[in-house]
Chains A and B, each alone.
Chain A
Amino acid sequence: MKKEIPLLITAIFGSFMIVDYFVPHPAVSLVGETLQQWAIIVISFSYVLGVANIARINGQKISKRSKDWPFAVPLLIGLAFMLGAGIFGGIGEGTLFNDFFLYAYTPMSGTMFSLLAFFIASAAFRSFRVRTVEAGLLAAAAIIVMLGRVPVGAEIWDKLPAVSDWINNVPQMAAKRAIMIGASLGAISTGLKVILGLERNYLGGE
């Protein structure tokens, strides 16, 4: 029964959400919106589980002096501090919580994101090494597209921006759309398998 009831709930609500897309009747839309609000409420409860997971794993790490335990100390202090700041001081503009988020977390997040530029350079360097015919085609297409995007490309050959656009709009777009159609069909059939109960691993144990 531990699996049958969740499967039944999945089948009923999954099918209902499909019906909701096609039926504009207010009665159906209202139920659909209510279900989505339920989902948001259930998801917000899961943050308690998330905090418990962090506290348990890192608390054990500190108490057992496991490898790299000092990293767990600032993590737990940060978690407790932000929780306290949010609960007792609020989260609006000008609060301690908001200031720490804007002036501590956001710059660190931006730093992580900016690493992407360097990783793109290192990944591009590896992928453009011409070892096979395919790699040669890739490198040639990449050079044309890159040159077509900068003013010096048009100076070298005035048709280069047009060739670059053609590569982007025709072969690249065709391949991308083919992958997109395949992935969408895969997603729909997976949804159907979940609704029919053919895929049930995600429900866990008996």
Chain B
Amino acid sequence: MRSTKAIVLFSASFLLLACGLVLTAAAQESAPAPTVPSEGPVRWFDLQRLNIAIVVAVFFILVLVFIRQAAKGASFFIRKIAGLDAIEEAIGRATEMGKPVLYVPGIDDVNNIQTIYSMVILGNVAKLVARYETPLIVPVCRAFVVPLAEETVKQGYLDAGHPEAYNPNNIRYLSDEQFAFTAGVDGIMLREKPAANLFLGSFFAESLVLAETGFSTGAIQIAGTANIHQLPFFVVACDYTLIGEEFFAATAYLSREAKLVGTLRGSDWMKIILIAAIVTGAVLETFGVTAFTRWFTVQ
């Protein structure tokens, strides 16, 4: 029964995409050429971006449908993510060794969704750390992230029932400059020797410098980022790495809150639709039909 529903949902989504294709093709036929500046009446919708609007709308609908199903009590399976399971293990190890936990929320500002999400994970980590009564050091690269990190960690300690253990001096703004920040974090790793290093957020060229320094101190290291160019560095230098979407699954995985798990289900269905679109596009291109692939071109 459930699989029939799934097939119907998948077919409906794919049909919606196909309708979008036809609509966009028709709209693009009648739309003025994009390179020529138009002095005509102002438009309320950019028809060149209709394809993106349709794909985003399908994705939003899928996510909302699964959030609703989850709210009604449907249970969804989440596969095991070793990196997320290892967070508690790493904090436990730091507690046994009597050493602090280091949490680096990336080097980007809050306009990057990875930084916001890193704050969400930091809240969960702070709760665990407070329960184990282990110090948590959070070096921050952007001044604007400082109050966010302070509030998040404070709330984590409060939720765990240990507000007195919160130390505001452990939320340390180092520098907005990339390598000044890197030098500062390396200094913390070498002087204070944290037993667990968590690198979760948006990282750039400093990723390997941080991870290799952490490796040299013998700390257990867990990294997670959606910046794909930095993933190989984290994979070779860290014990566990959350790759791309796994990073964004952290709170749903850790909290098992039904609504959050529902969003993961929505993402999975969107991936299936996109895979089907890629395969369809490859087959059609092989036979010389290019309209389908051209529909996905971003103007």
Contact = CB atoms under 8 A, between A and B. Distances in A.
Interface of A: 18, 21-26, 39, 42-43, 46-47, 49-51, 53-54, 56-57, 60, 67-68, 71, 105, 108-109, 112-113, 115-116, 119-120, 122-124, 126-127, 176, 179-183, 185-194, 196, 198-199, 201-205
A190 B177 CA distance: 27
Contacts of A50: 143, 146, 173, 176
Residue picked from B120, B142, B187, most chain A C-beta under 10 Å: B120
A185 B44 contact: no
Given A116-B209, A119-B212, A185 B144 contact: no
Closest 7 pairs between A and B when the two form their complex, measured CB to CB: A204-B151, A186-B248, A50-B143, A183-B244, A201-B123, A182-B245, A112-B179
A141 to B, nearest CB: 12
Interface string B154-192: 110010000000000101111011111011000100010
A184 B285 CA distance: 25
Contacts of A198: 67, 259-260, 263
Contact of B263 (A46, A108, A183, A192): A192
B60 interface: yes
B173 A22 contact: no
B92 to A, nearest CB: 22
B231 A179 contact: yes
A201 B124 contact: yes
Contacts of B263: 189, 192-193, 198
Contact of A25 (B42, B113, B182, B211): B42
B237 interface: yes
B154 A205 contact: yes
B95 interface: no
Nearest to B143: A50
Contact of A186 (B42, B124, B183, B245): B245
Given A56-B169, A115-B209, 10 more contacts: A109-B177, A126-B236, A185-B59, A185-B245, A186-B249, A191-B113, A202-B119, A202-B148, A205-B151, A205-B155
B248 A124 contact: no
A21 B235 CA distance: 35
Contacts of A123: 208, 211-212, 233, 236-237
A204 B209 contact: no
A183 B146 contact: no
Contacts of A176: 228
Contact of A182 (B49, B208, B271): B271
Interface of B: 42-46, 49, 52-53, 56, 59-60, 63, 67, 109, 111, 113-114, 116-117, 119-120, 122-124, 142-144, 146-148, 150-152, 154-155, 158, 169, 171-174, 176-180, 182-183, 187, 191, 205, 208-209, 211-212, 226, 228, 231, 233, 235-237, 243-245, 247-249, 251, 259-260, 263-264, 266-267, 270-271, 274
A60 B169 CA distance: 9
A179 B243 contact: yes
Contacts of B212: 119, 122-123
A180 B228 contact: yes
B42 A181 contact: no
A193 B264 CA distance: 11
Nearest to A60: B169
A53 B171 contact: yes
Contact of A23 (B44, B177, B178, B244): B44
B113 A43 contact: no
B111 A201 contact: no
Contacts of B119: 201-202
B158 A25 contact: no
Given A109-B179, A179-B243, A189-B248, A26 B123 contact: no
B133 to A, nearest CB: 20
Nearest to B163: A205
A13 B44 CA distance: 18
Nearest to A24: B46
Contact of B182 (A112, A181, A193, A203): A112
B117 A190 contact: yes
A192 B262 CA distance: 12
A32 to B, nearest CB: 13
Given A21-B49, A123-B208, A185 B43 contact: no
Given A22-B46, A119-B208, A202-B148, A181 B123 contact: no
Contacts of A205: 151, 154-155, 158
